[in-house]
Amino acid sequence: MVPHEVEITVLGSGGWFATHRHTTSVLVRTPTGSLLLDAGTGAGLAAAGAAGPLGRNVHVVLTHFHLDHVIGLACLPALGADTRIEVWGPGRVLGSATEAILDGLFATPLFPTPLRSFIADVHELDVGANDIGGTQIDVRHQERHPGGSVGLRIGDFAFITDTEPDPGTVDFVAGCGILMHEAWQAVQPVPGHSAAREVAQLASLAQVGSLVLSHVHPMQDAPEALLAAARPTFPATRVASDLLRLG
């Protein structure tokens, strides 16, 4: 399982747009600070204190730049000037520069203040091992989503979203205690995304400890259907919800 000194809280368990689920964001607390994996609207829950104090160092690690995964950056000024916020993005992996991409969004006329008014530093993720605030995060390039994305692994926890089922994911997440993987819907494959039945097969091949389905389609939000599709192949499956604690 995930080491006891690491705490994981789902902040946003949906994709595309927020309904009763915020869009994707996961808080990982480590002994050296807090990590936000993606910054969908769920990041607003962290900024508002719904998941407890984040500490003085917050590292935001992005899987890609689609709006439902980055728009919550706009909430982070609420953390206050005493919180140092750094962003790590896969711009270089996906073919551009992370800071240039984000500068285009967090600037007038779309946002009232520039990115660097509340973000202390912006870094590029590399494929392989990355030291982020004293925590090692392994990164894998995922090519089966429009524009690409990356998968993340922090020790015994793997976070895979916005990709079709990918055979390369099996080795990347093999043996992890918790695999959090998108399940856009239950059975029907969709280009660029995964279905719960396919994800369960991947989890079984990777011999993970447990599977958490996330990035749920807001118009097809049927947890019972997701579980019915996944559990016959991988019984240790549950569906994420906002503010769910893992580990």
Work out the average pLDDT over 169-177.
Answer: 98
Instruction: Say if residue 107 is exposed, middle or buried (CB neighbours under 10 Å; 0-12, 13-18, 19+).
Output: middle
Neighbouring CB atoms inside 10 A of 131's CB total 8
Q: What is the pLDDT of residues 53-68, one digit of tens each?
A: 999 999 999 999 999 9
**Chain-wide mean pLDDT for the chain?**
96
Provide CATH code, domain 7-240.
Answer: 3.60.15.10
User: β-strands 84-89, 149-154: how paired?
Assistant: unpaired
Q: What is the pLDDT of residues 198-242, one digit of tens each?
A: 999 999 999 999 999 999 999 999 999 999 999 999 999 999 999
Residue 51: is its pLDDT beyond 60? yes
Work out the average pLDDT over 1-15.
Answer: 81
Q: For position 247, what pLDDT does the model report? A: 75
pTM across the whole model:
0.97
Residue 2: is its pLDDT beyond 80? no
Bridge-partner residues for 36, per DSSP? 27, 60
Residue 3: is its pLDDT beyond 60? no
What string of H, E and C letters represents the secondary structure of 4-50? Answer: CCCEEEEEECECCCCCCCCECEEEEEECCEEEEECCCCCHHHHHCCC
Percent of the chain with pLDDT over 70: 98
Residue 87: is its pLDDT beyond 90? yes
Q: What is the pLDDT of residues 117-160, one digit of tens each?
A: 999 999 999 999 999 999 999 999 999 999 999 999 999 999 99
Q: Which residues contact 133 (CB under 8 A, 6 or more apart)?
A: 30, 32, 33, 35, 57, 59, 86
Work out the average pLDDT over 76-105.
Answer: 97
Q: How confident is the model at residue 32 (pLDDT cuts 50, 70, 90)?
A: confident
Q: For position 1, what pLDDT does the model report? A: 40
21-27 long-range contacts, Cβ below 8 Å, gap at least 24? Answer: 21/216, 21/218, 21/221, 21/241, 21/242, 22/72, 22/242, 23/68, 23/69, 23/71, 23/72, 24/68, 24/69, 24/161, 24/214, 24/215, 25/72, 26/159, 26/180, 27/51, 27/54
Q: Which residues contact 48 (CB under 8 A, 6 or more apart)?
A: 75, 78
